[in-house]
Amino acid sequence: MSASGNRSSPSSCPDLIRASTTSVAAEKQDVDGRVKPGHDRIFKRRSVRIASAIGVALVVFTTAFATWVVSLGPLPLEQARKVSTSIVDRNGKLLRAYAMEDGRWRLPVDAKTAVDPGYLKLLLAYEDRRFYEHGGIDPLALGRAALQLATRGHIVSGGSTITMQLARLMEPRRERSVYAKLRQMVRAVQIERQLSKDRILDLYLALAPFGGNLEGIRAASIAYFGKEPKRLSLAEAALLVALPQSPERRRLDRYPQAAHAARDRVLDRMVEDGIVSNDDAIQARAVPVPRLRKPMPILAPHSSDAAVATVKDQPVIKLTLDATLQRTLEALARDRAIAQGPNISIGMIAVDNESGDVLARVGSSDYFDDRRAGQVDMTRALRSPGSTLKPFIYGLAFEDGFVHPDSLIDDRPIRFGSYAPENFDMTFQGTVPIRKALQLSLNVPAIALLDRVGASRLSSRLKQAGGSLVLPKDEAPGLAMGLGGVGVTLQDLAQLYAGFPRLGTTKPLREIMTAKDDREPMRLMDQAAAWQVGNVLIGTPPPENGVHGKIAFKTGTSYGYRDAWSVGFDGRITIAVWVGRPDGAPVPGLVGRTAAAPILFDAFARTGKIPAALPKPPKSVLLASNAKLPLPLRRFRPVGELIRTGADQAPHIQFPLNGSRIDVERSADGQSAAMPVKVAGGVLPLTMMINGISVGEIDSRRQRLVDPPGPGFARLTVIDATGAADTVVIRVQ
């Protein structure tokens, strides 16, 4: 049966027998080491299927990943670059910063120039020691973080590079997940491709959180230490490294103990890594952490407000101010205003003579004092200038050539129509030199000279030089403007007075630095006249706190004791001071000499520099005592005393005509031919002057040949024995 059963099996299950036989045969062939062709094709087919599946999976994954990366959009660099508007001085020092729209303080940072290298060393050693080597992701740091998580059961370090942290700061998210970490890694690579390492570090140092509304190392250093982060102690640097890791839980004004502990952990780690010595770390640990925030700096608030209103969408606005001088004058104004009494404010402005740059502007004694209207900028307010315009009257009189600083003038009661000026002390000095009349600020001589010069001419000349004078409505320039009957600002007075040490030219004031300076000088008066005014004013008796002969200055007091002024200059700088009530109320006893002049001299003393000498006299200046002056220049006579009767007439220059152009012939050796001058009228002797210098007398025929001055404009003046004069301006070519 067994045999029959075995024989019948193949016939009953032929397929099974064939499969079994084939399998056995295959096994035998495999054992023999032979490869059957059918088996090879199956293996290859399976390998292709697996490879294809892997390839498809990779393509799908890559496509999906690329699609996700694209969906992230471009880096929000523009948003990250937004910072608080900063106002800096001429040397880059911070004057004032304005918080961003959401109230955050974020200041731009240049790590190479504005941050302590010691802090940067600690930061990179603690946060990202291979910062300059990786491309945004540090595999070693990620591996270390994973190993620490596996061995300790909790996150010890995140493995994030500074670039990854910057990515998180640019796109803040609360969750800590694999997805968030992956997003940071992608963004970090993108950042590294678009920005240099230095720029990445700058952005990180500007965006890193330090608690509250403080972002960036500059804002934190100023708020916590009251200084820029350019020079930090080890304790300060370690604290600033520790705070961004948990800024709210380590806020110095709320959790100083936590901040202290975090700082010490940074120091311990730096000792372990050999970055900091143990002795230095011990000393740093002993330093307490600050517990209160300091206010952000607010220097030159009025100038800053004006700059922000003028310059739009610029993160850093550079002014011409000098932060040190600005701080000094602000303190001086605050102290002196308190001494002057309640409701009194003080305005000051300092100008560089050569450039016309504003070096300091104090708009009020206290920006935040409402009782003194602190936010009103008194350097730009229109006020009555008192006697401060008198030097310009004298300057034009010197320019016209009918007076000299040593000429004599009468200070006595006189009437100009219905106007009868009086001196401040209600007394008269009699006959005095012009020099003394200006130094004592006598009113009658000034008005007598203005009557001769012409109020309209004075007004137009000052406007030509940049001074914006404001007259009462529908009123023409009159003699009263010589004693303050006009409105002017402190900054305009400073610009005009700077024209004296500049020898007759002014320059528009500049307060905002620009790449191109296209300001042109403006004419105030002749060089000789400007020098003579400065030479007279430097001899004015100074206040008790001043030194004689160092500062040329003038004071002024407006009608009703509403404004006290003092403007002074040396060879380098011009300073103008105003004292009074911003609301224009009178202050009994408020006088320029006692209220403003002492502040002016204190301001010069606090510049920290020795007063610079005034310029040397130009060649055209006539240096002579009264006795050696030409007869008509020895004494000034008002216009009323020059009225003549009969044949006597005032001198009149018939040739050359005023405004004419004279072509001077020159010989082969370069000598110029003499120029004839013809005069009609006048009482002999007639004195001829060219550019303020006497060239002799004109004979009875009333004509004279004179050597023409060099090419350019020249002023010819003829004065008769009574002091009557005529002047023409010609152009020699």
Catalytic residues: 127, 387
Which amino acid is present at 356?
Answer: G
Residue position matching structure tokens 């004031």: 509
Q: What is the DSSP string of 371-394?
A: GGTTTS-TTSS-B--TTTTHHHHH
Q: What is the DSSP string of 542-600?
A: P-TTS-TTT-EEEEEE-TTS-EEEEEEE-SSEEEEEEEE-TT----TT--IIIIIHHHH
* Three-state secondary structure readout of 92-140: CCEEEEECCCCCCEECCCCHHHHCCHHHHHHHHHHHCCCCCCCCCCCHH
Angstrom CA distances, 478 to 389, 394, 445, 482, 517, stand at 13, 16, 16, 8, 36
Strand ranges in 480-530 using DSSP code E only, listed in sequence order: 505-506, 522-523
Helices (H) and strands (E) in the chain, counts: 23, 22
Burial of residue 4 (number of CB atoms within 10 Å: 0-12, 13-18, 19+): exposed
Rounded CA separation 603/586 (Å): 25
Which amino acid is present at 704?
Answer: R
Rounded CA separation 591/566 (Å): 10
Angstrom CA distances, 452 to 394, 396, 478, 707, 725, stand at 11, 10, 12, 29, 10
Q: Cis peptide leading into 413, omega within 30 of 0? A: no
Angstrom CA distances, 393 to 400, 533, 534, 558, 693, stand at 11, 10, 13, 17, 20
Furthest C-alpha separation in the chain: 181
Tokens found for residue 266: 């940074």
Tokens found for residue 124: 């990179």
